[in-house]
A and B are shown apart, each in its own frame.
With several copies, the nearest count.
Chain A
Amino acid sequence: MYSEKVMDHFMNPRNVGEIKDADGIGEVGNARCGDIMKVYIKVENDIITDVKFKTFGCGAAIATSSISTELIKGKSIDEALKITNKSVAEALDGLPPVKMHCSMLAEDCIKAAIEDYRKKHLKTEVNTSAKESVE
Chain B
Amino acid sequence: MDRIIYLDHAATTYTKPEVLKEMLPYFTEIYGNPSSVHSYGRETRKALDLARERTAKALNADPAEIIFTSGGTEADNLAIIGTATANKKKGNHIITSSIEHPAALHSCQYLEKNGFQVTYLPVDEYGLIDPQDVKEAIKENTILISIMTANNEIGTIQPVREIGAIAKEKGVLFHTDAVQAVGSIPNDVRDMNIDLLTLSAHKSHGPKGVGALYARKGVRLNHISHGGAQERNRRAGTENLPAIVGLGKAIELATQDIEARNEKLRALRDRLISGILSSVEYTRLNGHPTKRLAGNSNFSFEFIEGEALLLSLDMKGIAASSGSACTSGTLDPSHVLLAIGLPHEIAHGSLRLTLGDENTEEEIDYVLEVLPQIVQRLREMSPLFNQDKGGKIYV
A–B touching in complex (CB under 8 Å): yes
Chain A residues near B (Cβ < 8 Å): 1-2, 7, 10-11, 13, 16, 27, 31-38, 54-62, 96, 98-99
Are A1 and B45 within 8 A (Cβ)?
yes
Are B384 and A16 within 8 A (Cβ)?
no
Other-chain residue from A27, A32, A55, A58 in contact with B326 (beta carbon distance below 8 A): A58
Stretch of B84-92, B204-212, B281-289, B302-310 that contacts chain A: B302-310
Task: Output the nearest chain B residue to A98 by Cβ-Cβ distance.
Answer: B329
Other-chain residue from A11, A33, A56, A60 in contact with B331 (beta carbon distance below 8 A): A33
Q: Which residues of B contact A61 (CB under 8 A)?
A: 305, 308, 326
Are B383 and A34 within 8 A (Cβ)?
no
Other-chain residue from B45, B315, B324, B326 in contact with A11 (beta carbon distance below 8 A): B315
Check if B325 is an interface residue, CB within 8 A of chain A. yes
Are A35 and B305 within 8 A (Cβ)?
yes
CA distance A16 to B195 in the complex (A): 50
Other-chain residue from B305, B345, B384 in contact with A58 (beta carbon distance below 8 A): B305
Are B348 and A31 within 8 A (Cβ)?
yes
Known contacts: A31-B345, A56-B304, A59-B311. The answer to whether A13 contacts B381 by CB under 8 A is yes
Chain B residues near A (Cβ < 8 Å): 37, 42, 45, 303-308, 311-312, 315, 324-329, 331, 333, 344-345, 348, 380-384, 394-395
Q: Which residues of B contact A2 (CB under 8 A)?
A: 311
Q: Which residues of A contact B380 (CB under 8 A)?
A: 16
Q: Which residues of B contact A98 (CB under 8 A)?
A: 328-329
19 contacts between A and B (CB under 8 A): A2-B311, A16-B381, A31-B344, A31-B384, A32-B344, A33-B325, A34-B326, A34-B333, A38-B383, A54-B382, A55-B382, A56-B382, A56-B383, A57-B326, A58-B306, A58-B324, A61-B305, A62-B381, A99-B329
Are A54 and B331 within 8 A (Cβ)?
no
Apart from A54-B382, A55-B382, A57-B326, what 10 extra A-B contacts exist at CB < 8 Å?
A: A10-B311, A13-B381, A34-B324, A34-B348, A35-B326, A56-B303, A58-B307, A59-B307, A61-B305, A61-B326
